[in-house]
Amino acid sequence: MPDTFFTASPHWTWFIIPYFFVGGIAGGAYFLAALLQWFGRPEDRPVIRTGYSLAFWGAIISGALLTLDLGKPFRFWHMLFQSENFPNLMFKSWSPISFGAWAILLFGACAAVSWYGKGGALLAKLVAGLGGLLGFFVAGYTGVLLSVTNRPIWADSPWLGALFLASGASTGAAALALFASGSGASERSIRWLTSFDSQALVVELILLIVFVASLGAVAKVWLGFWGLVLLVGVVGAGILWPLRLHFKPAAASAGFHNPALMVLLGGFLLRTVVLLASNSIAAHHVASGGMP
């Protein structure tokens, strides 16, 4: 039996799954908005504004979800300051939760500045540059966080950070395409987002295959309900189906035929599957030890 099967579940469930999803969207959307601010055109302005708005509200929702998930929510600040030596900072560069807490705080600050949108053009670009990098960090560190444990699936592969980052990029682009369409975004901006989303989905699919392959013998855990959700929900409905809709725009419409909605559904299911499949593997209960 793999060593990771002797460990206990941290019960990260219905606050953490939406956080991983929202954090990925916020990070991906900010990164793309920042790119457009640096290299885009005036007509991209509605997409940029939508990106900063998604990032700002995403950061707020993320902070709220993370705080609510704590056993002691009012001690959330213990992540940032040494509670017994206030105001000395609490920071461990080798602990993903520690540097993630700081990254979300700084990301939220950048998102707030960009969303507020005042100040000089150079300052705005610098903040967007920093926030964009932090955005990708926020989207990807959650996967690294899971790998830096001893739990089944999560610690059995070093590819979760990469996979979550690609998913953050694809869901960020999908959310931008979905919300910016109603904010006066030009057809050209949306086309760029859709084209990028297709590429991000292909990267995500490749990384998902690499992730499952890297699990080795542990990959057997997918021979069950969560494997079915991964195959049908994440790969089928969340990656292949929207890719088809992207390449045959005539087939795209509302609901299941809206590629952006399906990408978002796939991104949510990916995080749900990765967290709950591992959580469902309880610490190995020893009752019968075979024959001596």
Partner 1 sequence: MPAAMGFFTDTTICIGCKACEVACKNWNQLPATHGGVGEMSGDSYDNTRKLDGTHWRHVKFIEQFDGPYNGRWLMMSDVCKHCVQAGCLEVCPTGAIIRTEYDTVVIQSDVCNGCRACIAACPFGVIDMNAAAGTAQKCTLCYDRMEVGLEPACSKACPTDSIQFGPITELRERATKRVAQLQAQGEKRARLYGDDPKGPLGGLNSFYLLVDKPEVYGLPKTPKLPSRNLKPSGTFAAATGAVVGLLAIVGLRKRRMDEIGEGGGGKGSQN
Under the binding rule (CB under 8 A), the answer on residue 12 touching partner 1 is yes
By CB under 8 A, residue 183 contacts partner 1? no
User: Which of 155, 174, 185, 262 is in the footprint of partner 1 by CB under 8 A?
Assistant: 155
For residue 115, what are its two tokens?
């969303």
Q: Which of 36, 54, 138, 221 binds partner 1 (CB under 8 A)?
A: 36
Omega before 87 within 30 of 0, i.e. cis: yes
Residue 19: which residues within 8 A CB-CB, separation 6 or more?
Answer: 61, 62, 65, 66, 69, 142
The stretch among 7-15, 221-229, 241-249, 254-262 that binds partner 1 (CB under 8 A) is 7-15
Tell me how far, at minimum, the Cβ of 48 lies from partner 1, in Å.
8
Stretch that binds partner 1, among 55-63, 236-244, 245-253, 278-286 (CB under 8 A): 278-286
Give the nearest distance from C-beta 65 to partner 1 in angstroms.
13
Q: Which amino acid is it at 220?
A: K
**Total of residues contacting partner 1 (CB under 8 A):** 86
Q: How many residues does the chain have?
A: 292
Q: Under the criterion CB under 8 A, does residue 40 sit at the interface with partner 1? A: yes
Residue 63 burial class via C-beta count within 10 angstroms: exposed 0-12, middle 13-18, buried 19 and up: middle
Smallest distance from partner 1 to CB 255, Å: 27
| Helices 259-279 & 187-214 angle (0-180, nearest 10) | 20
Give the separation between CA 188 and CA 186, rounded to whole angstroms: 5
How far from 119 is each of 15, 74, 126, 127, 222, CA to CA, in Å? 35, 34, 11, 11, 51
| Of 64-72, 176-184, 230-238, 251-259: span binding partner 1 (CB under 8 A) | 64-72
Q: Closer CB to partner 1, residue 73 or residue 256?
A: 73
- What is the footprint of partner 1 within residues 109-148 (CB under 8 A)? 121, 124-125, 136-137, 140-141, 143-144, 147-148
- 45 is a site residue for partner 1 (CB under 8 A): yes
- Crossing angle for the helix pair 187-214 and 45-69, to the nearest 10 degrees: 40
Q: Out of 15, 61, 64, 69, name the contact with partner 1 by CB under 8 A.
A: 69
Contact 227, 274 (CB under 8 A): no
Question: Rule CB under 8 A: is residue 275 a binding residue for partner 1?
Answer: no
* Interaction between residue 49 and partner 1 (CB under 8 A): no
x/- letters, 72..111, toward partner 1 (CB under 8 A): xx-xx-xx--xxx-----x-x-xxxxx--x----------
Which residues are registered as beta bridge partners of 81?
Answer: 89
